Amino acid sequence: MKSNKEKRQDNIKEEARKLFIKKNIEQATFAEIAKNSKVGEATIYRNYPNKGELAMVVAMDYVTDLVNDLEERLSNKKDTHIVKFEKLLDYYIEVFINKPDYFIYMEHFDNFIAHSSEKPSDFNEYEKSLYNIVKVLCDVYSGEKLDNSIDANINVEMAVYTFNITFISLCQKLLLRGKITSTDLRFDAIDELKLMKKIYIDYLKVK
């Protein structure tokens, strides 16, 4: 069971997360997080010395969830590499639909870190977890030999890596859409994601 301290921390993290998504991390203040989580500002400072540390902890929670979900989905040893890659992209589409906050938060967090003079203390650990997402991809990063579902004549590692970052960027851009220009709404976001999935798979698979 969780101690009172843990419950209080969970509560602060949850209110911080909501405010960071609503307002951008830069604009959110400890005063407002304290108000929303019904604790004193000093309590927050005791747990998190500054906003960067708090934003970091929220990011870690998201990434940990994602990596756990992915590991489970990609654990079937009978799946070929190409099936695993398809499952990864399908998972991202599910996150896009059901947990869009994840992509929105990561976009905010990336922008926040890019403009920070100092990186949060757990940033190395976060980097490693992010890299784990890429690592679970099709096992191609673990040094295992490719099975014969994927075209051996292409640079698979670079392709998978590039497709991963491109797909995530597209999800993020599509989520901003509508919030920005109205012409952007010409096509259905899910159709666009499925189109990208199709061309990635076509490129990777044995011809």
Residues in the site for its own copies, rule: CB under 8 A? 23-24, 26-27, 107, 110-111, 113-115, 126-127, 130-131, 134, 158-159, 161-162, 165-166, 168-170, 172-174, 176, 179-184, 186-187, 191-192, 195-196, 199-200, 202-203
Q: Tell me how far, at minimum, the Cβ of 26 lies from its own copies, in Å.
A: 5
3 or 183: CB nearest its own copies = 183
Q: How far is the CB of 184 from its own copies (least distance, A)?
A: 8
Closer by beta carbon to its own copies, 11 or else 175: 175
CB of 51 to its own copies, least distance (A): 13
Q: What is the Cα–Cα distance from 117 to 120, expressed in whole angstroms?
A: 10
Residue with Cβ nearer its own copies (54 or 160)? 160
Shortest separation between residue 132's beta carbon and its own copies, angstroms:
10
> DSSP letters along 160-191, please?
HHHHHHHHHHHHHHHHHTTTS-SGGGGS-HHH
The minimum distance between CB 206 and its own copies, in angstroms, equals: 15
Q: Helix 4-23 crosses helix 100-114 at what angle (to 10 degrees)?
A: 80
Alpha-carbon Rg for the chain in angstroms: 19
Q: Largest alpha-carbon pair distance within the chain?
A: 62
Q: Rounded CA gap, 110 and 126, in Å?
A: 12
Toward its own copies, which CB reaches closer, 16 or 156? 156
What is the distance between the alpha carbons of residues 165 and 171, in angstroms, rounded to a whole number?
10
Beta carbons within 10 angstroms of residue 58's beta carbon: 21
Closest CA to 67 of 165, 10, 134: 134
Compare residues 12 and 113 and give the one whose CB is closer to its own copies. Answer: 113
